Amino acid sequence: MSDDLFNLARRAMAKCHAPYSNFPVGAAIRTHDGRLYSGCNIEVVSFPEGWCAETTAIGHMVMDGGGRIAEVAVVASKMRACTPCGGCRQRLAEFGTPETLVHLCDASDGVIETVTLGDLLPKAFPKDAVS
Ligand code: THU
């Protein structure tokens, strides 16, 4: 992964609204056609109403016309290799493939580990389940 995706995720993390957990997260997406999108986590005083950094980034991609996710970087200032939560794995699967690369990053050291979405979400609820 080139540094641009990591740096984009880190810059997004700096914009987080996480006053309740104090757990800033940033995510950045690269689409198969080379577009980049990023997002931060956004919390709400009614706690379940907040959402994750990956979700913000996906929203930006969809609002820009959609796309297929080739790779995603996730970074959290208080965790060395932040993994996407369960719900975000399914959201990433909606726009990615089992081969989509997921870079788990450290805010200072960059990519710690790269896994695939298939590793993180085996037996995902399939897109053709509902029609
Ligand atoms: N969070 C994310 O933004 N992405 C994840 O994949 C894991 C969790 C956020 C949600 C909440 O704002 C904070 O981290 C603590 O759970």
Task: For residues 71 and 92, give the distance between their C-alpha atoms in angstroms, rounded to a whole number.
Answer: 10
Does the CB atom of residue 88 touch ligand 1 within 6 A? yes
If one counts the domains in the chain, the total is 1
pLDDT in tens, 60-107: 999 999 999 999 999 999 999 999 999 999 999 999 999 999 999 999
pLDDT the model gives residue 3: 74
The token pair at 57 is 């980034």
Q: Give residue 22's domain range.
A: 3-129
Burial of 109 (0-12, 13-18, 19+ CB in 10 A): exposed
Where does the pLDDT of residue 2 fall: very low under 50, low under 70, confident under 90, or very high at 90 and above? Answer: low
DSSP secondary structure string for all residues of 54-104: HHHHHHHHHHTT---EEEEEEEETTBSSPPPPHHHHHHHHHHS-TT-EEEE
CATH number for the domain spanning 19: value is 3.40.140.10
Does the CB atom of residue 5 touch ligand 1 within 6 A? no
pLDDT the model gives residue 126: 87
